Structure 1
Amino acid sequence: MNRDELLEIYDAVVVANPNFQRKGKTMPYTSANGYMFSLVNKANELGIRLSKEDQKEFDASYGAKPFISYGATMRDYVLIPEPLLSDHEVLGKYLQKGFEYVMSLPPK
């Protein structure tokens, strides 16, 4: 999937949720409570930060793989597999879970 297609999907899913908005021009991301919880990296991959419990659920359903950005494995993030990108409802559900997770952390 090329970057424009990924960003179109990402923007559509983010806009559908009133709890957060897309930030960043070259490296699109969402954040709340002082923490990022989703990011599109330079390799045109989407990662979402999830609680340990949600990571286990995601792994059971989709096979969680680490999300790497700028050569670093992003802690608590899962790599969203390309087939899941076409399911906006599920993608939106996991973005909301990422938002809820960072809102449960102490504010930065």
Structure 2
Amino acid sequence: MDEKVLKIYDEVVAINLNFERKGKTVPYTSANGYMFSLINKEGELGIRLSKEATIEFDKVFGAKPFKSHGATMREYVLIPESLLADQETLGKYLQKGYEHVMSLPPK
């Protein structure tokens, strides 16, 4: 686990009252029965976004696929190093992930 990524993730999640970090070995957030962010065992952060938010993300950061346990996670984007340094913007994308899963039928 990348302690730097985990620290940033914990700080950004902590300031949003809509959700909380879960998981001991695989840190993640979930709502409405769906995960919408997680840190994989390589220490990379991925966020699940709507199609519209992914297009927006791609224009700014270049949307690269996010993998966990060797599988490409559908609807997830890999968070680049540059975005980890901008906690305010990272928090906005986490919120967009939350809003996306809340728009889906509950599991």
Shorter-chain TM-score range: over 0.9
Deviation, structure 1 residue 94: 0.1
Equivalent-residue separation in structure 2 for 1:12 and 1:42 (angstroms): 19
For 1:1-80, list aligned pairs within 5 A: 3-80=2-79
Structure 1: 4+ residue segments shifted above 6 A: none
CA displacement 1:30-75 (0-9 Å, x = unmatched): 0000000000000110000000000000000000000000000000
Structure 1's unaligned 5+ residue stretches are none
For 1:77-92, list aligned pairs within 5 A: 77-92=76-91
Structure 2's unaligned 5+ residue stretches are none
CA displacement 1:7-32 (0-9 Å, x = unmatched): 10000000010000000000000000
Report the AA paired with residue 89 of structure 1.
E
Deviation, structure 1 residue 95: 0.1
2:99 is aligned with 1:95: no
What is the RMSD of the two structures over their aligned residues, measured on CA atoms? 0.7
Deviation, structure 1 residue 83: 1.3
Percent sequence identity is 72
Equivalent-residue separation in structure 1 for 2:33 and 2:69 (angstroms): 20
